[in-house]
């Protein structure tokens, strides 16, 4: 039986950087390149290279991916966020449109706030509804961006599945640059996929299998 690999997948737009203990995964990609790491601290230099390069998939192999990932997060500013894939009684999923992309509601976890309470609060604030029922944790995603000072930020988002049984009208949070919030039938999801970040598509794939 094949052993489950231990991976950390960090998205940069629609490209990704993977730290894994699977040699097969790291050195057999047809869309990218892979390397072994000699010192765990070197992961930051490797990410610098990846960020500047056009490589779609960059794999770093090490027997201790947790330690390598720890060096990456220690060398950069990290933010924790939480969000949800919310379904209504008709099994439609809740999407928001922000800065030209379709997304799922999510936001920063505040000090002394749990991931669950943050996910619930962000969904309610961004979409203008109340009474969100958080069901279970779905997955974690990581993505990288640069802030206004050009500091590299690694955002760790904890995702949950959630349900909404009310009938309140959706009200997008314009002050957070959200211009639309819509309930979307699962059969229509494919038409939104081209305007979603890869990390969000991963979450939707996890709950819809589209």
Co-location of 90 and 170 in the same domain? yes
pLDDT at 210: 44
Co-location of 67 and 86 in the same domain? no
Please report whether residue 195 resides in a domain: yes
Co-location of 105 and 165 in the same domain? yes
pLDDT at 136: 94
Residue ranges making up the domain that contains 202: 80-208
Please report whether residue 1 resides in a domain: no
SS (H, E, C) 4-51: CCCEEEEEECCEEEEEECCHHHHHCCCCEEEEECCCHHHHHHHHHHHH
Given a contact cutoff of 8 angstroms between Cβ atoms, the answer to whether 169 and 181 are in contact is no
Give me the helix-helix angle, 65-74 and 43-52, nearest 10°.
70
pLDDT at 1: 42
Co-location of 31 and 117 in the same domain? no
We report the CATH number of the domain holding residue 109 as 3.90.79.10
Co-location of 116 and 153 in the same domain? yes
pLDDT less than 50: residues of the chain = 1-2, 210
pLDDT at 26: 87
pLDDT at 206: 87
pTM value > 0.85: yes
- How many other C-beta atoms can be found within 10 angstroms of the C-beta atom of residue 135? 14
């Amino acid at each position: 039986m094949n052993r489950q690999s231990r991976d950390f997948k960090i998205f940069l737009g629609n490209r990704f950087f993977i730290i894994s203990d699977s040699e097969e995964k790291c050195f057999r990609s047809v869309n990218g390149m892979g390397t072994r790491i000699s010192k765990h601290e070197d992961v930051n230099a490797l990410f610098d290279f990846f960020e500047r390069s056009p490589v779609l998939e960059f794999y770093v192999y090490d027997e201790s991916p947790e330690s390598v990932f720890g060096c990456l997060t220690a060398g950069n500013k990290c933010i924790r966020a939480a969000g949800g894939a919310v379904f209504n009684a008709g099994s439609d999923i809740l999407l928001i449109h922000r800065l030209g992309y379709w997304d799922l509601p999510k936001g920063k976890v505040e000090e002394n706030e749990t991931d669950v309470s943050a996910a619930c609060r962000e969904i309610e604030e961004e979409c203008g509804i109340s009474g969100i029922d958080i069901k279970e944790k779905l997955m974690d995603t990581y993505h990288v961006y640069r802030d206004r000072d050009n500091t590299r930020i690694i955002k760790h988002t904890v995702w949950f599945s959630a349900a909404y049984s009310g009938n309140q009208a959706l009200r997008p949070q314009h002050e957070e640059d959200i211009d639309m919030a819509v309930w979307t039938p699962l059969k229509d999801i494919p038409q939104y996929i081209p305007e979603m970040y890869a990390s969000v598509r991963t979450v939707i794939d996890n709950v819809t299998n589209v």
